[in-house]
């Protein structure tokens, strides 16, 4: 342990790696911070730092990015009605449109998505610059329920619902749901309501793929007690204080 780190810990300071500090300040993601640091764009107390393991004290150190002081941003908590066709990432190596297109010209500081929705999926997506809040929600141990409305190219009977509820074996193991129910029947397809209290990559799509059923639309309408409601597609709003606190 370096003398710098030892002294900081003794004084009860809030010590983090430089990438973590920039993330906590709401300036950028940790991966983005690493790029800035290694490019020599970050200074701590007037000294250029290129070591991504460099430890900083949030309460004492003066940090700047490209000559501009990095100050802690006001905490922001948003919900977006994600349209179909956007990828949930800040930038895409394939040049695809991302969810950040919905925030163009908004003047917002750096925010990150809390969880994911794949390109073909729609609906409720949370954003924040509060890393601790976001990490608590995405932690698998939180057990926060997420509700989806899913249109499939099949007529769902009790047998199909029982198979889904029993857990579906895929190449990655058993995928379970909290509940599965018929929402709206149809002649050739139907809408189901699926509730998860866990969330693996393409969780619902993999379940139906393994059953030989095609997902036509997948819309997340609720996370915990926060509901999508009448929010227009491609638009966002701030969460209320009650919604922010409702997760914990």
Give the closest residue to 82 by CA, choosing from 63, 97, 95: 97
* Mean pLDDT to the nearest integer, 40-59: 92
Do residue 124 and residue 236 come from a single domain? yes
Reduced to 3 states, what is the DSSP secondary structure of residue 194?
strand
In this predicted structure, what is the pLDDT of residue 24?
80
118 is catalytic: yes
In this predicted structure, what is the pLDDT of residue 13?
57
Do residue 123 and residue 241 come from a single domain? yes
* Mean pLDDT to the nearest integer, 16-32: 85
Question: Which of 9-23, 81-95, 179-193 is predicted with the least confidence, judged by mean pLDDT?
Answer: 9-23
The CATH number that applies at residue 235 is 3.30.70.580
Q: Is 148 buried (19+), middle (13-18) or exposed (0-12) by CB count in 10 A?
A: buried
Parent domain of 197: 145-223
Length of the chain, please?
248
Q: Is the pLDDT assigned to residue 91 strictly greater than 90?
A: no
What are the tens digits of pLDDT across the range 172-217? 788 999 999 999 988 889 999 999 998 788 899 999 999 999 999 9
Output phi, psi for 38, to 5 deg.
Answer: -65, -20
Give the whole-number percent of the chain exceeding pLDDT 70. 94
- Domain boundary among the residues 13, 35, 69 is at 69
Output phi, psi for 222, to 5 deg.
Answer: -160, 140
The CATH number that applies at residue 36 is 3.10.290.10
pTM: 0.78
Give the closest residue to 128 by CA, choosing from 41, 223, 230: 223
What are the tens digits of pLDDT across the range 102-149? 998 777 888 899 999 999 999 999 999 888 899 899 988 889 999 999
Give the chain's domain count: 3
- Domain boundary among the residues 43, 69, 95 is at 69
- Domain boundary among the residues 53, 69, 85 is at 69
Q: Which of 118, 130, 159, 197 is catalytic?
A: 118
In this predicted structure, what is the pLDDT of residue 59?
81
Do residue 54 and residue 81 come from a single domain? no
Confidence of residue 28 (pLDDT cuts 50, 70, 90): confident
Distance of alpha carbon 58 from alpha carbon 16, whole angstroms: 8
Do residue 134 and residue 238 come from a single domain? yes
Do residue 118 and residue 238 come from a single domain? yes
In this predicted structure, what is the pLDDT of residue 187?
85
Do residue 163 and residue 206 come from a single domain? yes
Side-chain half-sphere CA neighbours of 238 within 13 A:
9
Distance of alpha carbon 22 from alpha carbon 8, whole angstroms: 18
The CATH number that applies at residue 204 is 3.30.2350.10
Do residue 115 and residue 54 come from a single domain? no
């Amino acid at each position: 342990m370096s003398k710098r780190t030892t002294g900081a810990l003794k004084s009860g300071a809030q010590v983090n790696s430089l990438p973590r500090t920039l993330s906590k300040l709401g300036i950028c993601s940790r991966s983005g911070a690493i790029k800035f640091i290694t490019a020599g764009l970050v200074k701590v107390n007037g000294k250029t730092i290129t070591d991504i393991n460099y430890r900083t004290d949030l309460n004492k150190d003066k940090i700047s990015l490209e000559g501009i002081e990095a100050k802690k941003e006001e905490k922001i908590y948003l919900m977006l009605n994600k349209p179909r066709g956007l990828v949930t990432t800040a930038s895409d190596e394939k040049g695809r449109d991302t969810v950040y297109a919905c925030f163009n010209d908004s003047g917002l500081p750096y925010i990150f998505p809390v969880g994911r929705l794949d390109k073909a999926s729609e609906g409720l997506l949370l954003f924040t610059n509060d890393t601790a809040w976001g990490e608590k929600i995405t932690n698998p141990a939180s057990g926060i329920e997420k509700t989806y409305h899913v249109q499939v190219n099949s007529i769902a009977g009790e047998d199909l619902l029982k198979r889904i509820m029993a857990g579906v074996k895929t190449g990655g193991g058993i995928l379970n749901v909290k509940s599965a129910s018929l929402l709206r029947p149809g002649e050739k397809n139907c809408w189901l309501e699926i509730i998860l209290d866990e969330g693996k990559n393409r969780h619902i799509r993999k379940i139906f793929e393994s059953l030989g059923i095609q997902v036509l639309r997948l819309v997340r309408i609720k996370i915990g007690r926060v509901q999508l409601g009448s929010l227009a597609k491609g638009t966002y709003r701030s969460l209320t204080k009650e919604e922010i606190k409702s997760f914990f």
